[in-house]
Amino acid sequence: MFINFFFELKQAKLPVSLKEYLMLMEAMDKRVVDSFDVNDFYYLSRSALVKDERYLDKFDRVFGHSFKGLEKKDGEEVTEIPEEWLRLMGQKYLTDEEKKLIESLGGWDKLMETLKKRLEEQEKRHQGGNKWIGTGGTSPFGAYGYNPEGIRIGQKESRNKKAVKVWDKREFSNLDGDVELGTRNIKVALRRLRKFAREGAETELDLDNTIKSTAHKGYIDVKMMPERRNKIKVLLFFDVGGSMDAHVKICEELFSAARTEFKHMEYFYYHNCLYDAVWKDNSRRYNDNVKTWDLLHTYPSDYKVIFVGDAEMSPYEITYPGGSVEFWNEESGETWLTRLLNVYENAIWLNPIPERYWEQIASTSIIKQIFSDRMFPLTIEGIDQAMRELNK
């Protein structure tokens, strides 16, 4: 029962397992829902087989696909309505005008042929309009739906078709994204950067200390200690605007992953290269910026520094005073970067541009040199390597 459906789900890379399939069978066996109602079956199987909303859309598509087989069968039934019967109905109810219209369309045989063809083309129940077969329309096929209620082609209002609508709507389509997957991978990669320390409220029993103290004092003396927490501190610098626009998505993912992973994290924006100021809010970057000098003096040297940027610019923007494309910088970008690297021992550069192009871009090579080769591609693997480097 439904084995094909199950395998189709598997083929579509939905993480379904035998256990869930058996659970569905058990539910069917116990008559949780009326097993003749496809709609209910759809709800039940969805609830039993899909465990994450990002797979709902995929599930809807597979269900729709598996179900289409059934729908075709419906279509065959429809074409089995005896022609003879239609003809009789037509003669009984049609006005002369309408009979003429049928003639003009090529007579009964032609009409039946078109009907068959259209039934094959037609995928959904249709209402209104003037071409498809359905209710309340002005299609020529409406001609033999003459009596006030119309002739219903096929069986009673098919519940199946009502169900089709539910999954064909694909309401969950925008939940099907790999964004979450992306951030989870990044989080796992960022997790390499951990340094545990005990700080804060004392909530755990310190067994060693308790034994020692008890032996020392001669009565039981319970000692507590704080929980272990990730103590790593991070400064993140993001390049914004210009050539970075193409990499906004990956930067957002990195940012959201980093924010949940690191308790102590500060972030700043810069454009192309580091100069005498950075900012925290892109809409107020000229009024509300942070002087790089202040930054160097505010955050102690045990902070780890991560630069994110494509390092793609004119080499002058790095090496010469006044090279910035946006304002007159008194000191070159190189000076500022070196100053920063002198304070923070652990610093790396993450570059969203694939590694193989780095050689060809002069500015990238310069920055890589300034960072003593600590530039890594902004990929899961690159982040992984970068975190190892920062942990040194």
Partner 1 sequence: MKFEGTKSYIATEDLKVAVNASITLERPIIVKGEPGTGKTMLAHEVAKSLNAEIFTWHIKSTTKAQQGLYEYDAVTRLRDSQLGDEKVKDIKNYISKGKLWNAFECDKRPVLLIDEIDKADIEFPNDLLLELDKMEFFVYETGETIKAVNRPIVIITSNNEKELPDAFLRRCFFHYIKFPDPETMEEIVNVHYPDIKKDLIQEAFKIFYDIREVPGIKKKPSTSELIDWLKLLMTDDVDAKILREKDPKKLIPPLHGALLKNEQDVHLFERLAFISRRENENAD
Would you tell me which residues interact with partner 1 (CB under 8 A)? 15, 17, 19-20, 23, 26-27, 30, 32-33, 39-40, 43-44, 46-48, 50-53, 56, 171-172, 175, 180, 184, 203, 205, 219-220, 222
Output the smallest distance, CB 259 to partner 1, in A.
13
Do β-strands 289-291 and 277-279 pair in parallel, antiparallel, or remain unpaired?
A: antiparallel
Cα–Cα distance measured from residue 30 to residue 27, given in angstroms and rounded to the nearest whole number:
5
Beta carbon nearer to partner 1, 17 or 298: 17
Output the smallest distance, CB 236 to partner 1, in A.
20
Residue 86 buriedness (CB in 10 A; 0-12 / 13-18 / 19+): middle
Output the smallest distance, CB 223 to partner 1, in A.
11
Quick one: residue 129, left, alpha or beta (phi over 0 = left, psi -120 to 50 = alpha)?
left
What is each CA distance from 349 to 193, 234, 320, 344, 364, in whole angstroms?
15, 13, 21, 13, 10
Output the smallest distance, CB 123 to partner 1, in A.
23
Output the smallest distance, CB 84 to partner 1, in A.
41
Output the smallest distance, CB 284 to partner 1, in A.
12
Q: Residue holding tokens 């009596």?
A: 147
Beta carbon nearer to partner 1, 40 or 266: 40
Beta carbon nearer to partner 1, 22 or 101: 22
Do β-strands 264-270 and 233-239 pair in parallel, antiparallel, or remain unpaired?
A: parallel
Q: Residue holding tokens 């600590």?
A: 374
Beta carbon nearer to partner 1, 183 or 363: 183
Q: Which two tokens stand for residue 296?
A: 């160097």
Beta carbon nearer to partner 1, 6 or 172: 172
Output the smallest distance, CB 39 to partner 1, in A.
7
Beta carbon nearer to partner 1, 26 or 355: 26
List b or e across 29-58, with b for residues whose CB sees 16 or more CB atoms inside 10 angstroms: eeebbeeeebbebbebbbebbbeeebbbbb
Beta carbon nearer to partner 1, 211 or 325: 211
- Nearest CA-CA partner of 205 in 226, 224, 228: 224
User: CB-based contacts of 272: which residues, under 8 Å, 6+ apart?
Assistant: 239, 242, 309, 313, 317, 324, 325, 333
